[in-house]
Amino acid sequence: MSTPFPFTAVVGQDDLRLALLLNAVSPAVGGVLVRGEKGTAKSTAVRALSALLPEVDVVSGCRFSCDPGSPDPACPDGPHEADTGARRPARMVELPVGASEDRLVGALDIERALAEGVKAFEPGLLADAHRGILYVDEVNLLHDHLVDLLLDAAAMGASYVEREGVSVRHAARFLLVGTMNPEEGELRPQLLDRFGLTVEVAASREPDQRVEVVRRRLAYDDDPAGFAARWADEEAAVRARIVAARALLPSVRLGDGALRQIAATCAAFEVDGMRADIVMARTATALAAWAGRTDVLAEDVRQAALLALPHRRRRNPFDAPGLDEDKLDETLEEFGGTDGGTDDDPDPDPGPDGPGGGGRPPQDGPDEGSPTGDVPAQGEPSESGKAPAGQGGEQSPARAAEPFRTKVLSVPGIGQGAAGRRSRARTEHGRTTGARRPQGKLSKLHLAATVHAAAPHQRARGRSGPGLVVRRDDLRQATREGREGNLVLFVVDASGSMAARQRMSAVKGAVLSLLLDAYQRRDKVGLVTFRGSAAEVALPPTSSVDAAAARLESLPTGGRTPLAAGLLKAHDVLRVERLRDPSRRALVVVVTDGRATGGPEPVALAGRAARLFAAEGVASVVVDCESGPVRLGLAGQLAGELGGTAVTLDELRADSIAGLVRDVQGVQGTSRRAA
């Protein structure tokens, strides 16, 4: 077993370490979600925590880690006789992003159950993680149904596997830790709420701290065992402090004054439901136990709010995370009481570097790496060299109009992409649409089709009375239809004609509305803009609609309209994405008034570029931004060349009385469905 990086050697990241330690003291807090950029010690800190957890006593031979003192009466390996058991370290189990449902919850061997009458269950990762840590890196990239199963088990403390009348239940109590990079997409609010605490982490910008990060990492890589030995005393001290805090936890008193502050804080930040209040109460209690106190103080409530509320407060998807600390302080002061609401503790700092926490100065994490910022392209002059108002040089970025609920745009046909909420697709979950012979391991049995396949052969198999002889060749896999997420590629005209008459504000509002729709439907998004004499990829395809919204806000406008360049750039982006993710289908949304004025023969070049999309069957829609009493209808002509549909800004609204075809159908739509 490799030597983990010592927890107390992690440089800085105070909130991250504190949140992990509070869950180690009180698993009832409900786990922690760690959000941050790459290279900020997220994974390192989680793996290091497992070495600090006390060892656990388990029943010898039990695959579900039952406690000898109180074994689970419903354990599939039980009933257990009196057993002194064995002691082993607490486990840290990692759930890979590509894990299947069977790998997570365990698998029933349906073939043996039907053909041999044997009830065989193979435990999954939830059973392995019982009484330990379940670590999910890139939790935002997991399929939604896996996250649902995972969080349900964490909330109930048990996992249930039920298939075709066979049911297995086993205990599954674990410390749940998820990490994610917000640039790769967000979790749904319903799933965010199931994590007890959340922490935002970022790399330090202080040179001295970054030097210390590199120094410690290099020393660890050169000699992991020797490096860990130098931190053994600090590790032992924190381990002992966890044990002491666990023992003290039942004696901690949560007074009415602290409870009133918790309730008032949750109400002030308009969090939904009561889970936030309960998590705050448990966190404040754990903070007091970690500090060695038996009373919950106001600073415990404040720290609990900073950890438990940022991911629960009501906010738009594009709003910055976090809490308004001034508002928090005002609420705590207004509802402060004499019962548990004083600030007279001599050592109010409950952080991991307090007593027994190592005594080393807090610095930054041991991993390396930092995000790169993209600088918006500077404006280009018009081809004539002049800059008339609304047509020539770069205009200051217009603010987006208020977003609205949009009509549903979907890709025709049936895909097989990642789970989402936009277009029809063959998925593991959804309504059953048919049956087929299994390809590989059977997971979803279609019982009726299996019976139909086996019934004609009963006489040949010697069956003359009641009952049914089923063989492996009779088994049928259920085919299911659900929804997939798509790649929504925005191709936005940022030329001078779009900036005229403040049109760009409405355009940005429409694109922002479509981005919000993409967020809700679990799509990837990309942004291509064209203006002046060229096009650029303002945002490569990503799952972070926040990043797309930020690029849209700072989008400069002005210059001529190189429509062909924009379409060709989008075509190149799609070509690369097909190599990276062949199963994810694309929807191209061209936002323009249809004018083409940049480059030689601009209209003819734009038509040829558009026909490339039609020839490949790419679903597309043109958002017609033309306004005024005299309209040329160029956007409609462009939609015809693309083989897609044109829709005005007004028709894009969900409450518009104008009709909009739900599937973006065109010349290639029929052939695409047939394929």
Give the catalytic positions in this structure.
275
Residue with tokens 């064209």: 530
Q: Give the Å distances, CA to CA, from 30 to 20, 25, 52, 312.
A: 11, 11, 18, 14
- Tokens standing for residue 265: 């804080």
Q: What values do phi and psi take at 482, rounded to 5? A: -135, -140
- Tokens standing for residue 278: 């309960």
> Could you give the CA distance from residue 67 to residue 78 in angstroms, rounded to a whole number?
12
DSSP secondary structure letters along 20-68: HHHHHH-GGG--EEEEE-SSSSHHHHHHHHHTTSPPEEE-TT-TT---T
DSSP label of 473: G
Q: What burial letters (b/e) apply to 162-181, b meaning 16+ CB within 10 Å?
A: eeeeeebebbbbbbbbbbbb
Cα 447-452-453 angle, rounded to 5 deg: 95
Cis peptide before 54 (omega within 30 of 0): no
**E-only strand ranges, 455-564:** 477-484, 487-493, 524-531, 534-542
**Those residues with Cβ within 8 angstroms of residue 80's Cβ, 6 or more apart along the chain or in another chain:** 59, 62, 66, 68, 71
**Those residues with Cβ within 8 angstroms of residue 583's Cβ, 6 or more apart along the chain or in another chain:** 415, 416, 417, 418
Q: Give the Å distances, CA to CA, from 173 to 422, 466, 570.
A: 35, 44, 48
Handedness of CA 227, 228, 232, 238 (dihedral sign): positive
**E-only strand ranges, 399-513:** 419-427, 431-436, 477-484, 487-493
> Could you give the CA distance from residue 157 to residue 20 in angstroms, rounded to a whole number?
19
Burial grade of 591 (CB within 10 A; 0-12, 13-18, 19 or more): buried
> Could you give the CA distance from residue 114 to residue 258 in angstroms, rounded to a whole number?
57
Cα distance from N-terminal residue to C-terminal residue, the chain:
50
**Cα pseudo-dihedral 549, 551, 556, 562, rounded to 10:** -100
> Could you give the CA distance from residue 383 to residue 495 in angstroms, rounded to a whole number?
12
Q: What burial letters (b/e) apply to 443-480, b meaning 16+ CB within 10 Å?
A: bbbbeebbeebbeeeeeeeeeeeeeeebeeebbbbbbb
Residue in 47, 46, 31, 56 with CA at minimum distance from that of residue 194: 31
H helix and E strand count, the chain: 22, 20
What is the three-class DSSP state of 580? helix
- Tokens standing for residue 351: 């952080």
- Count Cβ atoms below 10 Å from residue 189 Cβ, excluding itself: 13
Q: At CB < 8 A and 24+ separation, what contacts does 217-223 make? A: 217/366, 217/367, 217/368, 220/5, 220/9, 220/366
